[in-house]
């Protein structure tokens, strides 16, 4: 090959990769838990600390697990989206109150509304560690067999709900 | 009204750039001098128009015009004036304006200092720069307009990112951009030469000072960025190998290779094709850096707001500019022919080896930077490439390059004798090896890397002494001072720049070998000792700044019981973005820095505190400034003053003296 064409050829290869790279999101970190069984837990419930909340109770259902906290500003951004989704009744959203104070969490839900049928309490962050949570909010889609199918890092937005979460839920429901 | 004037000035500048990019190049091709004559006034007009736009944006910031979206997004009414002005380049749109503005400054400079160039060459150079400018102006006007209005106006701005509220912000980006964009001149010279088919020694002689000046700016710009990271980020590091740092380092490596390659083309007529390729590479890497920073294809601490549309635009622009020039290169370069032949052992041979090593280093940085992207694009997983890769690639590549740096200036052109070189350098080598082995032992910590670093630094210094002695020996007569003065400044420039590398290496080596750090919990009144210095924590006070509140710690530092200094590190909370920043306190010194930064408040007024003792760390930046000083000396050489003097026949005196000096 003509050696004078070599720089151009290298450059073309780099441009192709950069072009592909534009479509990728380097901040998106794949969760090793997707496709694996959701880690088990049994945590006290926020509204009724005497009863426990455990994923085992939800076998046979498609559901969302949403890690949130009253101190988290991203959760505030996400909250209207969750309320909307809960109102539509498409899929139940179960909450996990992450490293939070009970009274503040209750006040927060009272003020902004409660989209969750049940909220678990993870005050020590143990459940968060098992699920690989590194920042709230995070949301997991869990199927009928209790397998994690999708993980959303950061707030859910209407677009993600409409284009990713709901189609996935429909598909999982039909299985 | 003022922002609209700025916007309109940009639109006019785009029109002028189109004219400047087309007519002069066409005129040069068909030999029409009227069309070629358009280049100079067009370039100057474009400079004035972009200057107007730049001032308009500056005015909007100074007057706190929050009806301009960009102003509202990057400043705040409480932000002091100098940071409001620096906020012009505090985010994407404005820094593009700075880029374009600096491009037109360079264009303007070319119109001032190009009277000695043939008309066709000058027209082509300005034409190529005009074409580059079209890309940037279009980019701004289509997807990154800094003058976009925000209606209704915001009550107050969202403030400049607190990380950027630092004197470094005022000076670092303009310096860096002067370097990046300065390579556009060398690039335009190279493209003009390819278009005209006259790649000769004269072309290299003209390109040299421009390239050196750009290189100096880039060197200073990178050093300032590194120094800024050192004191602002609060963990005492000075280089991350972050993609954005690499984006500035790659053009520097290519530019350094270019400076040396140009010397060969200038003096011996060799390396022509290689020099052209390097000139294209240096500027292409500057553009690539811009793309990497702004498109969001890589994760980096320098997070610019990313937008896929912008990424696509820059990518297309890159493809046109770089792809076009490399295609031109592939088409025209084969006809250039080779320069004079030379033996492997000769000054050319060593400069070539040094060039290959620098380009290999550049290639490995490029590979390391893009590797995560390559893997991700091929769906082979997500990884990040960090300092261990770069360190392990860099040392083996740079060691031979620096070894050759000592020998090169002593070797004859065309053919040198190895035994002769060995004889002339035996003392320098012996002194370097002995000192490098003994010194760390004396200082009480011998490691192979420490000795290697010292060996290289002392080798540069001793060979510089030998080079200078031999040079002086060739000058006959006169006192010592006269003989020193007879050595041309460009030669001094080379020696000084090389010694700058030595100083830099000493800094890096000593910091790596002898630094110590401590993470401690300190109660009020407690002391901690690091590197012979005792730090006593006297508690924190609350202080209020213009747009932040802070806890300011007081640390009394003593050495052997005598108090040497008092340090006041701060933990600041910037109210608008509610962001917490660590302001480290540093006691700088020629031989060591003491560095304190506040971690987190603990109970009872205690704090977690980081203490660093960093020997010779300032030599890292000192070395860079010395390198740039060497470049400045080289540019001030008489032969360039003659060339520039010639275009001012109105001042016969200066021309006269210059001629006499030549005679």
Question: What b-and-e string marks burial along B581-619, b requiring 16 or more CB atoms within 10 Å of the CB?
Answer: bbbbbbbeeeebbbbbbbbeeeeeebbebbbbbbbbbbb
Name the residue facing B326 among A7, A24, A29 (closest C-beta): A7
Nearest CA in chain A to B332: A4
Nearest CA in chain A to B329: A4
Which chain A positions have a beta carbon within 8 Å of B370's beta carbon? 14, 17
Closest to B403 (Cα-Cα) out of B360, B362, B458 = B458
B330 and A29 within 8 Å at the Cβ level: the answer is: no
d(CA B191, CA B279): 9
Q: Which residues of B touch A (CB under 8 A)?
A: 273, 277, 280-281, 284, 291, 295-299, 308, 311-312, 315, 318-319, 322-323, 326-327, 329-330, 333-334, 370, 372-374, 376-377, 382
Chain B: closest CA distance from residue A169 (Å): 26
Name the residue facing A4 among B333, B374, B377 (closest C-beta): B333
Which chain A positions have a beta carbon within 8 Å of B329's beta carbon? 4, 7-8
Q: Does A18 touch chain B (CB under 8 A)?
A: yes
Q: Does A89 touch chain B (CB under 8 A)?
A: no
Give which of B330, B332, B365, B577 to mutate to test A binding, by max A Cβ within 10 Å. B330
Chain A: closest CA distance from residue B139 (Å): 17
Nearest CA in chain A to B298: A26
Torsion angle in degrees (nearest 10) through CA of B51, B57, B63, B67: 150
B377 and A24 within 8 Å at the Cβ level: the answer is: yes
Q: Does A12 touch chain B (CB under 8 A)?
A: yes
Query: What pLDDT, on a 0 to 100 scale, did the predictor assign at position B101?
Result: 97
Q: Which residues pair with B597 in a beta bridge?
A: B610
A27 and B319 within 8 Å at the Cβ level: the answer is: no
State the pLDDT confidence band at A26, using cuts at 50, 70 and 90.
low
Q: Which residues pair with A68 in a beta bridge?
A: A97
Name the residue facing B299 among A4, A27, A30 (closest C-beta): A27
**In sequence order, what DSSP letters do the residues of B573-638 get, joined into one string?**
EETTTTEEEEE-EEE--SSEEEEEEEEEE-GGG-EEEEEEEEETTHHHHHHHHHHHHHHHHHHT-H
Which chain B positions have a beta carbon within 8 Å of A14's beta carbon? 370
Chain A: closest CA distance from residue B70 (Å): 24
pTM to 2 decimals?
A: 0.84
Nearest CA in chain A to B280: A7
Query: What pLDDT, on a 0 to 100 scale, did the predictor assign at position B497?
Result: 96
Which chain B positions have a beta carbon within 8 Å of A5's beta carbon? 330
Q: Enter the CATH code of domain B1-165.
A: 1.20.120
B376 and A26 within 8 Å at the Cβ level: the answer is: yes
d(CA B486, CA B472): 9
- Domain residue limits, chain A: 32-174
Q: What is the pLDDT of residues A33-57, one digit of tens each?
A: 788 888 889 899 998 888 889 888 8
A21 and B376 within 8 Å at the Cβ level: the answer is: yes
Joined tokens for residue B230: 């050192």
Chains A, B: CB pairs < 8 Å:
71
CB B144 within 8 A of CB B92: yes
pLDDT means over runs of 10, chain B (663 residues):
94 97 94 93 97 96 93 90 92 91 96 90 95 95 91 84 86 93 95 88 90 96 92 82 89 96 88 92 91 68 57 88 94 78 87 94 92 81 81 91 91 86 91 91 86 94 92 79 86 94 95 90 92 91 90 93 92 83 91 90 88 94 96 88 53 37 34
Q: At what angle are helices A6-23 and B347-377 packed, to 10 degrees?
A: 30
Q: Enter the CATH code of domain A32-174.
A: 3.40.30.10
Which chain B positions have a beta carbon within 8 Å of A11's beta carbon? 284, 322-323, 326
Nearest CA in chain B to A3: B330
- Cα separations in angstroms, A31 against A27, A131, A168, A172, B116: 12, 9, 17, 19, 63
Chain A: closest CA distance from residue B611 (Å): 29
d(CA B180, CA B215): 8
Going by the DSSP 8-state scheme, the letter that residue B271 receives in this structure is -
Listed in sequence order, the residues at least 6 apart from B350 whose beta carbon sits closer than 8 Å to its beta carbon are: B404, B407, B408, B411
For residues A83-92, average pLDDT: 90
Which chain A positions have a beta carbon within 8 Å of B281's beta carbon? 7
Q: At what angle are helices B324-332 and B272-295 packed, to 10 degrees?
A: 170
Question: What b-and-e string marks burial along B357-382, b requiring 16 or more CB atoms within 10 Å of the CB?
Answer: bbbebbbbbbebbbebbbebbeeeee
Which chain B positions have a beta carbon within 8 Å of A17's beta carbon? 370, 373-374, 377
Name the residue facing A22 among B284, B311, B374 (closest C-beta): B311
């Amino acid at each position: 090959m003509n050696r004078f064409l070599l720089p151009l050829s290298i450059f073309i290869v780099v441009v192709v990769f950069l072009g592909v790279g534009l479509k990728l999101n380097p901040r998106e970190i794949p969760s090793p838990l997707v496709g694996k069984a959701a880690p088990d837990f049994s945590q006290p419930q926020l509204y009724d600390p005497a009863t426990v909340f455990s994923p085992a109770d939800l076998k046979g259902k498609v559901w969302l697990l949403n890690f949130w906290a009253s101190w988290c500003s991203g959760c505030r951004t996400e909250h209207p989206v969750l309320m909307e989704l809960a109102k539509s009744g498409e899929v139940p959203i179960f909450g996990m109150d992450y490293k939070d104070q009970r009274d503040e969490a209750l006040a927060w839900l009272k003020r902004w509304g409660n989209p969750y049928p049940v909220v678990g309490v993870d005050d020590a962050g143990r459940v968060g560690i098992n699920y690989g949570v590194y920042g709230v909010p995070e949301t997991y889609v869990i199927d009928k067999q209790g397998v994690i199918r999708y993980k959303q890092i950061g707030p859910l937005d209407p677009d993600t709900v409409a284009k990713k979460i709901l189609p996935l839920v429909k598909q999982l429901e039909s299985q | 009204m003022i922002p609209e004037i700025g916007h309109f000035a940009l639109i006019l500048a785009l029109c002028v750039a189109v004219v400047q990019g087309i007519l002069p190049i066409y005129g040069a091709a068909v030999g029409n001098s009227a069309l070629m004559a358009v280049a100079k006034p067009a370039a100057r007009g474009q400079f004035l128009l972009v200057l107007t736009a730049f001032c308009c944006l500056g005015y909007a910031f100074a007057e706190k015009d929050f009806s301009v979206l960009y102003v509202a997004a990057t400043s705040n009414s409480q932000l002091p004036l100098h940071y409001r002005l620096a906020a012009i380049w505090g985010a994407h749109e404005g820094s593009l304006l700075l880029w374009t503005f600096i491009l037109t400054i360079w264009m303007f400079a070319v119109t001032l200092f190009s009277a000695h160039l043939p008309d066709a060459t000058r027209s082509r150079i300005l034409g190529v720069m005009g074409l580059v400018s079209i890309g940037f102006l279009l980019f701004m006007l289509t997807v990154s307009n800094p003058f976009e209005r925000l209606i209704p106006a915001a009550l107050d701005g969202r403030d400049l990112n607190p990380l950027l509220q630092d004197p470094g912000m005022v000076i670092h980006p303009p310096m860096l951009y002067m370097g990046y964009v300065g390579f556009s001149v060398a690039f335009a010279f190279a493209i003009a030469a390819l278009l005209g088919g006259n790649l000769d020694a004269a072309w290299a002689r003209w390109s040299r000072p421009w390239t050196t000046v750009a290189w100096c700016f880039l060197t200073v710009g990178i050093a300032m960025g590194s120094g800024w990271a050192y004191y602002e980020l609060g963990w005492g590091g000075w280089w991350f190998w972050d993609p954005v740092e690499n984006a500035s380092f790659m053009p520097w490596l290519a530019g350094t290779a270019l400076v040396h390659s140009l010397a060969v083309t200038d003096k011996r007529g060799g390396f022509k094709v290689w020099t052209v390729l390097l000139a294209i590479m240096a500027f292409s890497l500057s553009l690539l850096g811009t793309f990497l920073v702004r498109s969001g294809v890589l994760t980096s601490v320098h997070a610019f707001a990313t937008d896929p549309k912008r990424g696509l635009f820059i990518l297309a622009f890159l493809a046109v500019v770089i792809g076009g020039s490399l295609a031109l290169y592939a088409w025209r370069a084969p006809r250039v022919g080779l320069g004079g032949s030379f033996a492997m052992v000769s000054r050319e041979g060593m400069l070539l080896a040094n060039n290959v090593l620098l380009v290999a280093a550049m290639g490995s940085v490029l590979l390391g930077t893009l590797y995560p992207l390559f893997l991700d694009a091929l769906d082979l997983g997500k990884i990040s490439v960090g300092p261990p890769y770069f360190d392990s690639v860099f040392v083996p590549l740079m060691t031979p390059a620096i070894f050759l740096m000592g020998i090169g200036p002593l070797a004859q052109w065309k053919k040198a004798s190895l035994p002769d070189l060995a004889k002339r350098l035996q003392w320098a080598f012996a002194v370097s090896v002995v000192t490098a082995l003994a010194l760390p032992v004396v200082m009480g910590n011998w490691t192979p890397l420490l000795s290697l670093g010292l060996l290289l630094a002392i080798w540069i210094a001793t060979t510089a002494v030998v080079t200078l002695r031999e040079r002086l020996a060739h000058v006959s007569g006169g006192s010592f001072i006269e003989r020193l003065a007879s050595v041309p400044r460009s030669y001094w420039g080379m020696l000084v720049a090389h010694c700058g590398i030595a100083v830099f290496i000493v800094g890096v080596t000593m910091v790596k070998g002898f630094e110590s750090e401590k993470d401690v919990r300190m109660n009020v009144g407690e002391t901690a000792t690091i590197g012979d210095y005792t730090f006593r924590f006297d508690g924190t006070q609350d202080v209020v700044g213009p747009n932040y509140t802070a806890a300011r710690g007081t640390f009394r530092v003593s050495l052997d019981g005598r108090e040497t200094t008092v340090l006041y590190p701060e933990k600041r909370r910037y109210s608008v973005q509610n962001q917490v920043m660590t302001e480290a306190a540093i006691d700088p010194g020629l031989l060591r820095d003491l560095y304190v930064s506040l971690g987190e408040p603990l109970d009872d007024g205690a704090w977690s505190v980081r203490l660093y003792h960093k020997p010779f760390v300032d030599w890292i930046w000192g070395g860079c400034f010395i390198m740039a000083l060497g470049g400045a000396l080289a540019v001030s050489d008489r032969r360039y003053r003659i060339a520039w003097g010639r275009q001012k026949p109105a001042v016969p005196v200066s021309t006269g003296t210059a001629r006499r000096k030549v005679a």
